[in-house]
Structure 1
Amino acid sequence: MAIDVTALRAHFPSLDSGLAFFDGPGGTQTPRPVADAIAATLTGPLSNRGTISPSELNAEQSVADFRAAYADFLNMPADGIVHGRSATQLTYDFSRTLAKGWKPGDEIIVSRLDHDTNVRPWVQAAGHAGVTVRWIEIDPQTAEVDLESYERALSPRTRVVAVTGASNVLGTKPPLRRIADLAHEAGALLYVDGVHYAAHHLVDVPALGADLFVCSPYKFLGPHTAVLAGAPDLLETLRPDKLLPSSDAVPERFEFGTLPYEILAGARAAVDFLAAVDPGEGKTRRERLAHSWSSLHAHELALRTRLEEGLQAFGDAVTLHSKAQDRTPTLLMTLEGRDAREAQIHLAARDVLATAGQFYAYEPFTALKLEGPALRAGLAPYNTAEDVDRLLDGLSSFL
């Protein structure tokens, strides 16, 4: 299985700029079919949802198509697919909703590996409810989660375990199935921040063991929006605050106000685009996604290997903090005696975009004792070996 990278790149107008993009973990570039789907829906005819006029029916169809696409993308029922503005917004909403059932003496578990999106909403909800927060630690030497700390933190009082599917800075993929099994044995729910994971792997929410799983299409070629998946029978048990006249049906009880129909169309188009990258003989969209993701994974792994070998050649001048055995093609590095922001500026002057910062990964940076910004290089489907060599050449002239 192999992808035609030249043909793939032809769908991305932004690549005509000549820029080499390594900022995919913060948001990927967008192919024209996604933009076309947004424009076609927005220019309508389009009205609020209804069952009478063509414009109302177009809005209804955009919602139905969105749910069907993410049902295939995440291997979940369509009525378990919830739209949200962002993963942060969804996590705040669901943490507050779940916290309604917490009481003093209860506990939750969060992770030192996580983006703050999957930490602070839970910690703040716990503070308001008077429940205890416990932590899954990480090993700074290996960038792996410490499963022993997780097992020590779990108890019959645990209500929710919140953990990432993959770190947005280190790339580390914790053993979600093991974490899920232990959480369920304790009677707890598992909430997974899959934003970075879904950008690099075919997601199978039931196989991962996640009760609630959130991701963001703009990390995998779509528009700026977010999706949460949960089993409909679980969603039925959750009672968010909502407007009295608004629907109480699942999943709509979690979606507040008029939906952005054009954005839903773009998010659906991103799934269809990924399914068409290398569809094989797949008869269903899920089968085409599986074949495409296998090829994309092989492509990104080859580029990651090329980049890592190039970075190793710099010796002690570059410290690579992404070390986990199982990880995405996202590399976090610090540069001996040099400011990562200066490196970003140097690379940008050479049309290579790799960003410096903390990337909302407060807990991982604290655990690794990284006091200043670090440089992050993340690979995406449209990257090439030439892009990697340009990044390495740029770093070589900086160091």
Structure 2
Amino acid sequence: MCSPKWKVKVGRDNVVKPSSEEWGNYPYISLNSLNPPVYSSNCIAIVAFPKPAIMSSFDIATAREKFPALNQPQVFFDNAGGSQTLGIVIDSICNYLSKTNVQLGATYAVGKKSTASYESGYAAAAKYINASTDNIVLGSSTTSLFRTLSFSLSFPAGSEIIISKVDHEANIASWVDLAARQNLAIKWWSPKAGTNPKLEASDLKDLLSEKTVLVTCTHASNILGTIHDIAAIAEAVHNIRGALLCVDAVAYAPHRHIDVKALGVDFYCFSWYKVYGPHISMLYASLTALKSVKSLGHHFNPSSTLQDKLGLAGSCYELTASIPAVLAYFGDKPSESWAAIEQHEGKLQSTLLEYLNARSDVTICGEPSPDTKKRVSTIGFVVKGRKSKDVVEAVDELSNGEMGIRWGTFYSVRLADEILSLQYDGVVRVSMVHYNTLDEVKQLIELFDKVLGKV
């Protein structure tokens, strides 16, 4: 059940009262600790506006305060599977369900509010990546959005698609199926085997041809953490007339600011629940790519926008309406917030990578340097003579389950099997984000010393 929220009227004679109609789903400061509410005739002003959690000078304590789940002993180092959710996002979802949970498009009062909240979610989502609302659609997951997209594209038989083997299966399986359905040829984009496989635009020289219609790849691997130069890859792909680039950004989005126009991508997809928000995902299509997408909606419905074409019955109302709260968290200057986040995450990954690189029994899978231009703070590694499963379970036991790391292939099975030669056991994965602390990293290192022995 959601806690009651209060809005404070500004002035000498302040009155604390329940949030007003006009406050809507916008995030606000919670005063639920004032129970019963306090009335003060001496107070000059209390302003109940959302306060940015992140500013250009990063304050980890302030950031952590915004995530209710962090108020417990658990250390969350499994963020690549899903980040913790902002309190203001949780409040927004609760507010929608408790006050405006009706069907969209109605003309009565609550119906109008519900529709406005939903539309504001779409507007915020588009703004977040520097796109138009016409060019995005929200859905349940990146996997489902790629699958839906694959049924909306049609290419001539004999055309070629290039599929990266570094990717999560979400950005592979749908295209393999598409190729089978439409009699397309698959060319596999497979970097040289080794511990740091990386997708380079130059790789495409021998793969692209006049028959290429689609290239798929990841912005950053969910095992390796290595960042790929998507702008350069897009430029190479677009040297072939009509060729489209589809990018999975799920493992990249929690760590860096996104501008789809600067990247030059055709399709770009990520999940908001990896970016501190609700369990909902977003697919972008460029103006050119949008023309290639046929509508899967009812014949009598509009079919001009990506939402029209692929949204079908629409995205989850309350989750869509909560997306503006994610943007509010990053403040009025998101580029500064993201720069601060990158700097902080750089310290986290530098500390852990320094430790792992110093161990002769550890092999890092992915970019070994802590350079934030080359990698994000998702770190996968293997230990000589030890199963990844055994390492993680030993950490679980020593920490009483309070140090949340994982082992496995994380749906990047082709990468693990065919390029890294890891098979089922996969890697030990530590995936950090900006609300993690250096103290948490040091605690983990102490546990690794106990499990693996000191260097």
**So what's the TM-score if we normalise by structure 2?**
0.81
Amino acid at match of 2:388: A
Of stretches 149-158 and 264-273 in structure 1, the one that deviates more from structure 2 is: 264-273
Q: Does 1:309 align with 2:365?
A: no
2:200–2:229 contact (8 Å) kept in structure 1:
no
CA distance in 2, matches of 1:85, 1:124: 20
Return the match for 2:282 from 203, 209, 227: 227
Alignment-derived partner of residue 267 in structure 1: 323
Whether 1:358 and 2:409 are equivalent positions in the alignment is yes
Matched, 1:171 2:225: yes
| 1:1-34 deviation digits (Å, cap 9, x = unpaired) | 4211111111222112211111000001112111
**Does residue 296 of the first structure (1) align with residue 341 of the second (2)?**
yes
The 1-side partners of 2:97 and 2:301 are apart by 23
Structure 1: gaps of 5 or more residues: 277-281, 283-287
Taking a change above 3 Å as real, the CA distance of residues 312 and 237 of structure 1, as seen in their structure-2 partners, is closer
1:360 is paired with a residue whose SS is coil
Counterpart in 2 of 1:318? 362
- How many pairs does the alignment contain? 385
Q: State the partner residue of 1:389.
A: 442
Q: Which residue of 1 aligns with 2:101?
A: 46
Of 34-43 and 61-70, deviating more is 61-70
Contact 2:266–2:288 (CA under 8 A) maintained in structure 1 = no
Structure 1 position 151 matched with structure 2 position 215: no
**Whose helix proportion is higher, 1 or 2?**
1
**Does 1:135 find its partner at 2:203?**
no
Given the superposition, is the C-alpha separation of residues 55 and 247 from structure 1 closer, same or farther in structure 2, using an over 3 Å criterion? Answer: farther
Matched residue type, 1:301: G
User: Which amino acid counterpart does residue 354 of structure 2 have in structure 1?
Assistant: E
C-alpha contact 1:34 1:266 (8 A) present in aligned 2: yes
Contact 2:195–2:363, Cα closer than 8 Å, also in 1:
no
Q: Could you tell me how far apart the structure 2 residues matched to 1:145 and 1:237 are?
A: 26
Q: What is the RMSD computed on CA atoms of the aligned residues? A: 1.6
Deviates more, 1:217-226 or 1:343-352: 343-352
Alignment check: 8 A CA contact 1:183 1:190 kept: yes
> 1:183 is matched with which residue: 231, 237, 254?
237
Aligned-pair distance for 1:46?
2.4
Alignment partner, residue 392 of structure 2: 344
Contact kept, 8 Å, 2:296 with 2:312, in 1: the verdict is no
Q: Deviations over 1:127-160 (max 9, x none)?
A: 1111101122223243222544321110110001
Using the alignment, how far apart are the partners of 1:205 and 1:80 within structure 2? 11
The structural deviation recorded for 1:57 is 1.4
Q: How far apart are residue 343 of structure 1 and its match? A: 2.0
Question: Which amino acid in 2 is paired with 1:149?
Answer: D
TM-score (norm 1): 0.92
Tell me which residue corresponds to 1:279: none
* 1:90-124, Cα deviation, whole Å (9 max, x unpaired): 101112211x2x12220001112111111111111
Match of 2:273 among 218, 222, 237: 218
Residue aligned with 1:191, SS: strand
Distance 1:232 1:47 in 2: 32
Percent same amino acid at aligned positions?
29
Query: Out of 15, 19, 34, which is 2:89 matched to?
Result: 34
2:386, 2:277 → 1: CA distance? 35
How many angstroms apart in 1 are the aligned matches of 2:325 and 2:240?
39
Aligned partner of 2:420 in structure 1 is 368
- Label 1:60 to 1:233 Cα distance change in 2 as closer, same or farther (>3 A): farther
Q: Is the 8 A contact 2:244 2:289 kept in 1?
A: no
CA–CA distance in 2 between the matches of 1:362 and 1:147? 23
In the TM superposition, residue 65 of structure 1 has moved relative to its aligned partner by 1.2
**Equivalent residue number for residue 257 of structure 1:** 313
* Matched AA of 1:179: I
Deviation at 1:234, TM superposition (A): 3.6
2:380 corresponds to which residue?
A: 332
Q: Does residue 16 in structure 1 map to residue 71 in structure 2?
A: yes
Which range is displaced more, 187-196 or 140-149? Answer: 140-149
CA deviation vs aligned residue, 1:279-300 (integer Å, no higher than 9, x gap) = xxx4xxxxx2111101001010
In structure 1, C-alpha distance between the alignment counterparts of 2:325 and 2:179, rounded to whole Å: 38
- Please state how far the C-alpha of 1:369 moved relative to its aligned partner: 0.8
Q: 2:407, 2:427 within 8 Å by CA — same for their partners in 1?
A: yes
